[in-house]
Amino acid sequence: MLQKASDTPPKAENVLVLVRHGQSEWNRLNMFTGWKDVGLSEEGMAEAHGAGARLKEEGLHFDSAFASTLKRAHNTLDIILEELGQDKLPIIKAAALNERDYGQLVGINKEEARKRFGAEQVHIWQRSYDIAPPGGESLKDTAARVCPFYDRWIVPELQEGKNVIVVAHGNSLRSLIMELDKLTPEEVKDYSLATAVPVIYRINADGSVAEKRDLAA
């Protein structure tokens, strides 16, 4: 989706890149992960190198880097920064960016969960806006920590003309993208992020989206 939100051309520097971490060991095993701190798989590391290489091709250079406190996210960011020749850039790690808590589903194979609870119910837990999995967070709950963090710590960086990269998770980033793209709860049900594929935004000085480019598209 391309959004034109201002007549004033955005400064070229106001770039926000969002990246879901590379494949984790539990993604590889198709298990609900949530807050479980699992590492990247071999393939996930390779995907992270690929994401860094694509950002390098785009000619991007970052002034600030944010990740969740979960190692699959900040290890992905380490690899991306290494590819960009920016491994000295400090990474700000924030629990507010962590994956949605999948509660009692954590550690269960997704196919097994569909057999146990029914595919429709599992899909509702995975993709609905305000229905939480048992003992876990809904996307709305996740947005309630991700979006205030974004407003408080990331928007001011963008407003100073900095380029910012954020590496986080499928659902924590969905909640932010829902806000940036003004998606409805119905629209967000069909939205998901591939591992380690950068989404590049240009953000206006007022925080609105000037342009969005998903490198997966």
Catalytic residue annotation: 21, 99
Q: Rounded to an integer, what distance in angstroms lies between the CA atom of residue 56 and that of residue 205?
A: 25
Between helix 110-117 and helix 119-127 the angle, nearest 10°, is 120
Nearer Cβ to ligand 3PG, position 20 or 212? 20
- Which tokens hold the place of 173? 């980033």
Q: Does 136 help bind ligand 3PG (rule: CB under 6 A)?
A: no
Confirm whether residue 110 is marked as ligand binding: yes
Q: CB 170 → ligand 3PG: shortest distance, Å?
A: 4
- Ramachandran assignment for 75, one of left (phi > 0), alpha (psi -120 to 50 degrees), beta (any other): alpha
Q: CB 159 → ligand 3PG: shortest distance, Å?
A: 30
Q: Return the biggest CA–CA distance within the chain.
A: 53
Q: Which stretch binds ligand 3PG (CB under 6 A): 75-83, 138-146, 169-177, 206-214?
A: 169-177
Q: Does 75 help bind ligand 3PG (rule: CB under 6 A)?
A: no
What is the DSSP secondary-structure string of 124-193?
A: HHHH-SS-PPTTS--HHHHHHHHHHHIIIIIHHHHHTT--EEEEE-HHHHHHHHHHHTT--HHHHTT---
Q: Which stretch binds ligand 3PG (CB under 6 A): 61-69, 149-157, 165-173, 179-187?
A: 165-173
Q: Does 102 help bind ligand 3PG (rule: CB under 6 A)?
A: yes
Nearer Cβ to ligand 3PG, position 22 or 34? 34
Can you tell me which of 145, 169, 202, 212 binds ligand 3PG, judged by CB under 6 A? 169
Q: Where is the binding site for substrate, in residues?
A: 20-27, 33-34, 72, 99-102, 110, 170-171
